[in-house]
Amino acid sequence: MSVIFSQRTPGRRWLSLWPLALFLLLMLVGGLWIWQAWPQVMLKSALWQRDVNQQLSALLNAVATHPERAGGSLLLLSFMYGVLHALGPGHGKVVIATWLATHPSKLKSSIVLTLAAALLQGFVAIGLVVGVLTVLQLPARQLHLSGFWLEKGSYALVGGLGILLCWRAIKRLRALLRKPVFIAFTPRHVHHEKCGCGHQHLPTQEQLHSGDDWRARLMIVLSMGMRPCSGAIMVLLFSKVIGVFSWGMVSVLAMAAGTSLTITSLALLVHTFRALAVKLSGNKAPALWRQVGWSTLALAGGVILLVAALVMWFSVPQPVGGLRPWRG
């Protein structure tokens, strides 16, 4: 059907920007709270990790002498370490939750992303230890230095993903605020029952999934997984020293499985709350307001990722030997 439309610009179109103002206020309050609470959270995380590392070291010693007795306990503690530690502060949770909140149709692919990122983090730790200490036979100092630059790289990818989301959201907001308003429709053509109009009315399933950006997915997996867990590196180093490196690798993979379980649960929780918010809102708000609101949410996600990347980039201490608290 051909139509003729007239365009008018509402005098109070600026009122549709209220979600953006609300977002800025919430970002200010949230940023101040994080600034105050972050040092205390990191201190408690470091103390907790020290206790768990001591238990893991004791179990590795036990595995060296009685693997049939202590092996199961080591794997169970490693799995619980991954489950519980993933609840603490870390950029991986921020990345996947932000992506899922701003891309509601990507639940299944987001779950796959969590599994891939967790496994990648485990394999990166194993590959780093094997490559530096076994293949290149470099000192442990180089191991910490390599981990330092991998960590920096992961935070840079988080910032790049945040910039990408912000750029897309701003483009959508500009398009929405310039969208013409249809006030009159004049039909120029009527289809009969045998009309071959020559176009497709509905997209296919393949077309619906074709907009899934593989570049963004790759950035998510790399930003979450390329930073090696210092707890995993500790397990690998100690197991190599006492001659049970194979058990150390299995322990690291158990940690990765526990981490993926927690982050996947977080992804499901975010998806559930977002679906509930959509259901409760219904069609009460004007269409423009809803579109601006969701675009503002995407902008918020990008800003959160960018701020988190900057904070963690500048908070990474220089490698001086020893292990640092893991910020998963």
pLDDT band at 326 (very low <50, low <70, confident <90, very high): very low
pLDDT of the residue at 48: 74
Lowest-confidence pick of 39-53, 66-80, 122-136: 39-53
pLDDT of the residue at 210: 42
The predicted-structure confidence for 270-303, as pLDDT tens digits, reads as follows 777 666 666 655 555 555 566 666 667 777 778 8
pLDDT above 60 (res 182): no
Burial 174-184 (b: 16+ CB within 10 A, else e): eebeeeeeeee
Q: Give the separation between CA 109 and CA 300, rounded to whole angstroms.
A: 21
Lowest-confidence pick of 2-16, 141-155, 305-319: 2-16
Average pLDDT for 219-239: 82
Q: Round the average pLDDT of the chain to a whole number and report it.
A: 72
pLDDT above 60 (res 245): yes
Closest-CA residue to 145 (of 322, 308, 312): 322
Question: Which residues have C-beta within 8 Å of that of residue 317, sequence separation ≥ 6?
Answer: 324
Q: Give the separation between CA 266 and CA 259, rounded to whole angstroms.
A: 11
pTM of the model as a whole: 0.68
pLDDT above 80 (res 172): no
pLDDT of the residue at 8: 47
pLDDT of the residue at 327: 47
pLDDT band at 203 (very low <50, low <70, confident <90, very high): very low
pLDDT above 80 (res 252): yes
* Highest mean pLDDT of the ranges 89-98, 216-225, 266-275, 317-326: 216-225
**pLDDT > 90: percent of the chain:** 1
The predicted-structure confidence for 79-113, as pLDDT tens digits, reads as follows 988 887 777 666 677 787 777 777 665 667 778 88
Cβ atoms 238, 248 nearer than 8 A: yes
pLDDT band at 5 (very low <50, low <70, confident <90, very high): very low
